[in-house]
Structure 1
Amino acid sequence: MKSNKKHLSSGIAIGVVGTLVASAVVGVTIVYTGAYNVAATEDHQPLARWALETTMKTSVADRASSIEPPEFSVQMISSGGREYQAMCQHCHGGPGVEKSEWARGILPQPPHLPDVVTEWQAREVFWLVKHGVRMSAMPAFGPTHDDEQIWALTAFVMQLPGMTAQRYAEFGQGNSAAGHH
């Protein structure tokens, strides 16, 4: 009986090692033959898209879990609105504002934030703005902006859902009352 169990265990180990080796060979072959199309005009395969999106979302949630957002003030939201229009609008658009034409050539497509920000917590938006996302065209603003500026931007982004185009436009005019309803 022991001999059969030993052979079974050996067989499983050989199968696992064989699968790992075969996977490594396939991976190296894809890398060195250029088989994977990296063109920004072609979307990822569905499995690759799922893996990348799921990895990004769970990575951000994990890394942002210990961040405590401050209270968002009208002044923070107003300041963040001006920053958003200067730095983010060209890729993410805004209420009544489309993203820039050149940003439509980015893959993955930057999301229209008024439509998707409800899927994120403020701490996660802060983390994304501060650290960026590799290979997505989302830059890290942490090296060039302090946490106070990033929180102001986060405060504004969290206000985007349901914001009217008129209210959005007021932020670009430097209207400090833009944070009021």
Structure 2
Amino acid sequence: MTIDWKSLLLGALGMLALLILIALLVILTGGYNVAATNRHNPITAWALDTTFRNSVQGHGGDIAAPELTPAMVAAGAGGYKAMCAHCHGGVGEGRAEWAEGMRPKPPALARAADEWSDTEVFWLVKHGAKMTGMPAFGGTHDDETLWNIAAFVKALPDMPASQYAAYPSGH
């Protein structure tokens, strides 16, 4: 049995062209509902979440992290409370009511910070994440400030609510 490579290649190119046409049809007609009130279908949600996690792990893994100290945690509290808590909440505090309507929903960092390394948290704070509502703070804040916020985020899962509340808000 011989394989007709020319027919196989033409079939593959035809299939690729059809997929491109379908994608263009969806894009140009607005056929995919982008409303935040409508959840992604499971395949899209998986693809976006997997891409997000792999990208952050890949980019954040190449950063040299300083040792995160209690002084950095204290220095990062005001920045976190001013720039992050309204979406991610705090220890014993939920996110702002308006942030409940975000898709994807921002993780509650008092529980989710353990899922990310120090460098991954720093990378996310510095570079943000497309199509998530997570802004990039690297253009407006220096690395020292961002490392302080990352230190505070990494401390959240083990922080008592009374300690969180004692840190001043804003910066």
SS of residue matched to 1:140: coil
Matched, 1:163 2:163: no
Q: CA deviation at 1:126?
A: 0.4
* RMSD of Structure 2 on Structure 1 (CA): 1.4
Q: Residue type of the partner of 1:159?
A: A
Q: Tell me the distance in 2 between the aligned counterparts of 1:80 and 1:15.
A: 57
Identify the residue that residue 88 of structure 2 maps to in structure 1: 92
Q: Distance in 2 between matches of 1:42 and 1:32?
A: 19
TM superposition score normalised by structure 2: 0.95
Q: 1 CA distance for matches of 2:169 and 2:36?
A: 35
Shift of 1:162: 2.6
Q: Deviation per CA, 1:83-131, whole angstroms, max 9, x where unpaired?
A: 1111110000011111001111111111101111111111000000000
Structure 1: distance between partners of 2:66 and 2:169:
26
Give the whole-Å Cα distance in 2 for the aligned partners of 1:149 and 1:22.
49
What is residue 178 of structure 1 aligned with on the other side?
A: none
Partner of 1:101: 97
SS at match of 1:99: coil
1:51 corresponding residue in structure 2: 47
Counterpart residue number, 1:121: 117
Q: How does 1:10-21 map to 2 (within 5 A)?
A: 10-21=6-17
Structure 2 unaligned runs (5+)?
none
Give TM-score, length-normalised by structure 1. 0.90
> For residues 103 and 6 of structure 2, what CA distance do their matches in structure 1 show?
45
C-alpha separation in 2, matches of 1:95 and 1:109: 17
Q: How does 1:14-93 map onto structure 2 within 5 Å? A: 14-93=10-89
- TM-superposed deviation, 1:173: 6.7
Counterpart amino acid of residue 96 in structure 1: G
% identity of equivalent residues: 45
Counterpart check, 1:132 vs 2:119: no
2:140 equivalent in structure 1: 144
Structure 1 residues not aligned, in runs of 5+: 175-181
One-letter code of the match for 2:110?
Answer: P
- 1:81 maps to a residue whose letter is A
Shift of residue 28, structure 1, vs aligned partner: 0.2
Larger Rg: 1
The answer on whether the counterparts of 2:90 and 2:108 sit within 8 Å (CA) in structure 1 is yes
